[in-house]
Amino acid sequence: MAEPQDTAPPATDSPKGDTSILNSMAFRGVAYQVLLAVFVVLGGLYLYINVNANLERQGIATGWGFITENAGFDIGESPIPYDSEDSYGFALWIGVLNTLRVAFVGIILATILGVFMGIARTSRNWLLSKVASIYVEVCRNVPVVLHVLFWATVVRFLPHPKQAISPFEGAYLMNRGVIFPIPNEHPAYVWVGLAFVLGVIGAVVLGRWAQRRREATGQYIPTFWYGCAIVVGMPLAAWLVQGAPLTWNVPELKGFNFQGGLAMSPEYAALVVGVTVYTAAFIAEIVRAGIQSVPHGQIEAARALGLRPGFIMRYVTMPQALRVIVPPTASQYLSLTKNSSLGVLIGYPDLVNVGNTTLNQTGQAVEAIAIMMIVYLSISLTISTFMNVYNKLVAIKER
């Protein structure tokens, strides 16, 4: 006869505790977030009520009605037409555009200079490496405020217009800024710009196709010169089809200043150079760290195969280094954008400068500061989103 088996359920330490919702990690996680959100909302409500009470006690009106009132002050530099009879809202928009001008140009120039200096620091050329090292160590350890003030001083000590420095025909450096010739407006340039965008897209598609083919067959297809031909050839073809219009707006000295061409104010030039030189030093160090993070054995193996240094840097080193380079570089882009607010020190009419003028004339301190905070937050989130997308595109997929 078979012996009866023990069918009693296994003992549990605390059946009631296992079934309680309070011991559910998912529930507690949600509950903690809800409580935190409630405290944040209550804290914000308390601050709002407190600020309103203090403003009413001091007789200061609140609200956003000032946005539509006439600003009554001029802005020395504006990318679009502006008049003192325009509204405060439009004046603040001019400040936003001036901030974006500095950030956009500064990010491009800082990236180019930083990548070059970062690669130079890892170069086997002793002189090039030492020059890059000195640049990085000096510029990183000087506060960005002094960078901006230094370049503003340099620009102001340049010769006056009649003795302006001319690096090439039609371009002039002087204490009133930088001025250089530009092509006159023509409808054909719209098609040239469109052709350039299509050329860039075509070069990217060609590069992707060559990469997939190389991974599938091992056959290397050089795409650099073909890509350059597409990027340059398509706009050139569009320009020729439109009749090859090309007339230059060359600056000429008339009276005490130059007329014509494209001019950059001394404040704008000093601010762009200052934040670019400072940020590029940090980007250079990031690039150096990314390159040196690649195992040296892989580079030696590539050299043993007889690959050219440029090929090794493009296809072996940089694809692996980008995973180290991209995230901290995004932080440097954000810092450069925020450092553009230092233009207030040298009289550049950026968002902070225009915002402070608006605040002083209207007394709407909370609203003016809130606008500046929202604008900088929006710009920072946009840059972060773009860099996150780019980081995913260049990430190496592990197989």
User: What does the CA dihedral 42, 46, 48, 49 come to, rounded to 10 degrees?
Assistant: 130
178 contacts: CB under 8 Å, gap ≥ 6: 171, 172, 263, 264, 269
Prediction pTM value: 0.81
Of 353, 339, 360, 347, give the one whose Cα is nearest residue 91.
353
The full set of domains in the chain, from first to last, is 88-184+247-394 (1.10.3720.10)
pLDDT per residue over 190-237, tens digit each?
898 999 999 999 988 888 888 888 878 877 777 888 888 898 999 999
Q: What are the tokens at 312?
A: 């090794």
Whole-angstrom CA distances from 135 to 56, 117, 126, 147, 282 are 54, 8, 14, 13, 10
Q: How far apart are CA 175 and CA 167, in angstroms?
A: 15
Walk along the chain (399 residues) and give the pLDDT tens digit of each residue. Answer: 455 555 555 544 444 445 667 677 888 888 889 999 999 999 988 888 887 787 777 777 677 888 888 888 888 888 888 888 889 999 999 999 999 999 999 999 999 999 999 999 988 889 999 999 999 999 999 999 999 999 999 988 888 888 888 887 878 888 888 888 888 888 888 898 999 999 999 988 888 888 888 878 877 777 888 888 898 999 999 888 888 888 888 888 887 788 888 888 899 999 999 999 999 999 999 999 998 888 888 888 888 888 888 778 877 888 888 888 999 999 999 999 999 999 989 989 999 999 999 988 888 888 889 899 999 999 999 999 999 988 888 776 665
Q: Are 125 and 138 in contact (CB under 8 A)?
A: no
Q: What are the tokens at 3?
A: 């012996």
pLDDT per residue over 41-58, tens digit each?
999 888 888 877 877 777
Chain Cα centroid distance, residue 56: 40
The DSSP string of 188-247 is: HHHHHHHHHHHHHHHHHHHHHHHHHHHHHH------HHHHHHHHHHHHHHHHHHTT----
Q: Is 379 exposed, middle or buried (0-12, 13-18, 19+ CB in 10 A)?
A: buried
Coil, helix or strand at residue 6 = coil
